[in-house]
Amino acid sequence: MFTSLSDRLTATFKNLRTKGRLSESDVNKTVRDIRMALLDADVALPVVKEFTHAVRERALGAEVSQALNPAQQVVKIVNEELVAILGGSTRTIRFAKSGPTVIMLAGLQGAGKTTLAGKLAKWLKDQGHTPILVAADLQRPNAVTQLQVVGERAGVPVFAPEQGNVGGHDAVGPTGEGTKSFGDPVAVSRDGIREAVNRQHDVVIVDTAGRLAVDENLMKQAGDIRAAISPHEVLFVIDAMIGQAAVETAEAFLEGVDFTGVVLSKLDGDARGGAALSVAGVTGRPIMFASTGEGVKDFEVFHPDRMASRILD
């Protein structure tokens, strides 16, 4: 991912003169090239605008530096602005001061939430935490089983509704009129947290249901779960391959569940990826983690500075 964006930006910088001061027209041309490269990579327009404006202002005002030639200065500015739109500094889970840290996962179906639940649990376990997974995606009968498989792989217990509840009936209450569901996800989430407290797990990861497109009922359900369990973190998982729809989806989830952080999944794919990179810039929420494959270890903390360097490499 990002190879074409990376190549385009590198080519742009190659054209820059290395001696003397950059003229206004040099800067304008460079900024235009950067703008095209970002747009072609699917970076959202408001982010592109803010980005190119900042680069232009800074490049025109750049001091003559002894250490860097003009081209290097522009690369430095672009690098710093990329780090800024990617969220600035690295941020991961903020743990609760007392009691279990509750992490809720939200996102569209197929985004990679359940897979991420296992990866996150394993990552936490490797750091000495004692996570438990809670199966609150009761929309698809398979989701509970899938989470159990994921939990087994990660060596982490899974709290799921009693067999008797997983029978498939029309849900009452929070899941909304007529929504086919397998039990009440709000009750399961609450019970899961109680279980975590009783068994002294220090982190609870609640997997919630997604739909193929943003759906009012599902969003309400996610909002209800959020309100019932007051999670310390709400992670919005987004498939980096979804392209232009990323920003709109992120905005809908920001409104629906007010997520505290973003997880970019499927960063191992070969899509253009720029839309996913815009999510932090558009929502003001940090990208915390990246998922880079189907395996439980294909997971990393997202470092804006390293990602920027990778793009500008």
Here the tokens at position 217 are 């009922």
Cβ within 8 Å of residue 141, ≥6 positions away:
166, 168, 182
By the rule CB under 6 A, 266 interacts with ligand GDP: yes
Q: Of the candidates 192, 210, 273, 304, which one interacts with ligand GDP according to CB under 6 A?
A: 210
Q: What are phi and psi of 204, to 5 degrees?
A: -120, 125
The SS3 assignment for 69 reads coil
By the rule CB under 6 A, 111 interacts with ligand GDP: yes
Minimum gap (Å) between residue 108 Cβ and ligand GDP: 7
Q: Which of 221, 233, 208 has the alpha carbon at shortest distance from 289?
A: 233
Minimum gap (Å) between residue 70 Cβ and ligand GDP: 39
Neighbours of 65 (CB within 10 A): 11
Q: Which is nearer to ligand GDP, 70 or 112 (CB)?
A: 112
By the rule CB under 6 A, 109 interacts with ligand GDP: yes
228 is in an annotated binding site: no
Considering only residues 89 through 108, tell me which ones interact with ligand GDP, judged by CB under 6 A.
Answer: 107
First vs last Cα of the chain: how many Å apart? 13
267 is in an annotated binding site: yes
Here the tokens at position 23 are 């003229």
Q: Of the candidates 70, 100, 112, 157, which one interacts with ligand GDP according to CB under 6 A?
A: 112
* Cβ contact 74:53 at 8 Å: no
Cβ within 8 Å of residue 26, ≥6 positions away:
16, 17, 70
266 is in an annotated binding site: yes
| Count of residues that interact with ligand GDP, criterion CB under 6 A | 17
Burial of 63 (0-12, 13-18, 19+ CB in 10 A): exposed
Minimum gap (Å) between residue 277 Cβ and ligand GDP: 16
Cβ within 8 Å of residue 194, ≥6 positions away:
none
By the rule CB under 6 A, 265 interacts with ligand GDP: yes
Minimum gap (Å) between residue 206 Cβ and ligand GDP: 12
109 is in an annotated binding site: yes
**Among the candidate windows 12-20, 188-196, 242-250, 263-271, which touches ligand GDP by CB under 6 A?**
263-271
Here the tokens at position 147 are 């989470």
Minimum gap (Å) between residue 251 Cβ and ligand GDP: 19
Cβ within 8 Å of residue 288, ≥6 positions away:
91, 92, 93, 235, 261, 262, 263, 301, 302
Which H or E run includes 59?
A: helix 45-61
By the rule CB under 6 A, 115 interacts with ligand GDP: yes
Q: What are phi and psi of 245, to 5 degrees?
A: -70, -10
Q: Of the candidates 64, 168, 294, 297, which one interacts with ligand GDP according to CB under 6 A?
A: 294
By the rule CB under 6 A, 196 interacts with ligand GDP: no
By the rule CB under 6 A, 208 interacts with ligand GDP: no
Q: Which is nearer to ligand GDP, 22 or 307 (CB)?
A: 307
Q: Which residues are known binding-site members?
A: 107-114, 207-211, 265-268
Residues in touch with ligand GDP (CB under 6 A): 107, 109-115, 210, 265-266, 268, 291-294, 298
Q: Which residues are known binding-site members for GTP?
A: 107-114, 207-211, 265-268
